[in-house]
């Protein structure tokens, strides 16, 4: 075997394949957990938006069109304090 090929084989044998595999598995688990978190967040925000939309539709259908937000509690419907 040529000396150069021997050095390459020794270098490949020195690589910690188990360590690389562990790191790869941990990265895949983290990616999976983050994906689940993003999906849950998107689901939560879409449910919130749908609830808000349905509330606005019901208010419009019933004839009430007040658009008070929690931060606007101290204002009346004419914009006065």
Residue 35 or residue 63, greater confidence: 35
71 in a domain, yes or no? no
Give the whole-angstrom CA distance, residue 34 versus residue 4: 44
Report percent pLDDT > 90 for the chain. 38
Alpha-carbon dihedral of residues 44, 70, 53, 67, nearest 10 degrees? -170
pTM of the model: 0.53
25 in a domain, yes or no? yes
Host domain of residue 34: 16-60
Q: Tokens in use for 35?
A: 């994906």
21 in a domain, yes or no? yes
68 in a domain, yes or no? no
16-42 confidence digits (pLDDT tens): 889 999 999 999 999 999 999 999 999
* Beta carbons within 8 Å of 65's beta carbon, 6+ residues apart: 59
Q: Across residues 11-18, what is the average pLDDT?
A: 82
Q: Tokens in use for 76?
A: 């009346």
């Amino acid at each position: 075997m040529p000396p150069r090929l021997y050095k390459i084989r020794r270098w490949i044998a020195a690589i910690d394949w188990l360590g690389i595999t562990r790191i790869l598995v941990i990265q895949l688990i983290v990616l999976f957990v983050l994906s689940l978190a993003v999906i849950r967040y998107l689901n939560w925000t879409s449910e919130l938006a749908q609830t808000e939309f349905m509330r606005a539709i019901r208010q419009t259908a019933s004839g009430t069109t007040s658009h008070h937000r929690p931060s606007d509690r101290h204002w009346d419907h004419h914009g006065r304090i």
